[in-house]
Structure 1
Amino acid sequence: MQLSKEEVLQRANEQCKNTLMETLNIEIVDFGEDFLVAKMPVDSRVHQPDGVLHGGATAALAESVGSFASHIFVDTEKFFVRGIEITANHLKGIREGNVYAKATFIHKGRTTQLLDIRVTDDDDNLISVCKLSTISLPKNK
């Protein structure tokens, strides 16, 4: 039985309960063969003291969506995924609305993966550009 896209998204978001993703209200909203998209509301919970989106919250969104993308594209029965490096270039500030992080693979290797993550606002303005390296390590049985 093949799951519908809505069922896959529901299951993915259920895995985010009691995690940083739930704390920041990050929701997986779309996916395809080689990408994953997550959404995070911009409000006082993710602001810097001067009322704009905190770069750390943006990096947390980017690492969450990128790691989750690597996680769903590997055999999780045999491997677990960990982020090993993230870079974030913040290009534009935002005070309210939503940001969307779209993770796409640059490299999808057996051991390491490299993802490009574009963070945009509700009007598709580019907010940040991030790169995430992840590693797939064998589970000890």
Structure 2
Amino acid sequence: MLDHTGIVVTDLTKARRFYDAIAEALGLATKTNSEQSFLFGRSAEEPIPYLWIGTLRPSYWVEGSRAGLNQMHIAFIADSKQMVDAFYDAALKAGGRDNGPPGPREGAGDYYGAFVLDPDGNNLEACVRGPAAR
């Protein structure tokens, strides 16, 4: 189970615009956490799990680490193919880059997903599985 994870970004304003857009497409929310960070998750009523996004350098980073150096992959659950498509469109309009357009993936069974790179190069995915993916 996931409690939380986090990524470091170089431009908080650019990142917030991007994550606000994909949050809306996925029925999720963002919330300011500090002047240097915000949270991405379900809602204030369901605060966990969440993704911490900020410009602060974590104390646990090894020397030489920086935003985007070690690409992170995060997959978000979508309720429908239409939600995956909305995620992809919102991400591209908000400054993301294509890393695999919406569609089924060979060998994944009933699966429909899309991949984008956020402004710092982290790989984000939205996917739906099962009957809703057909």
Give the TM-score band, short-chain normalised: 0.3 to 0.5
Higher strand share: 1
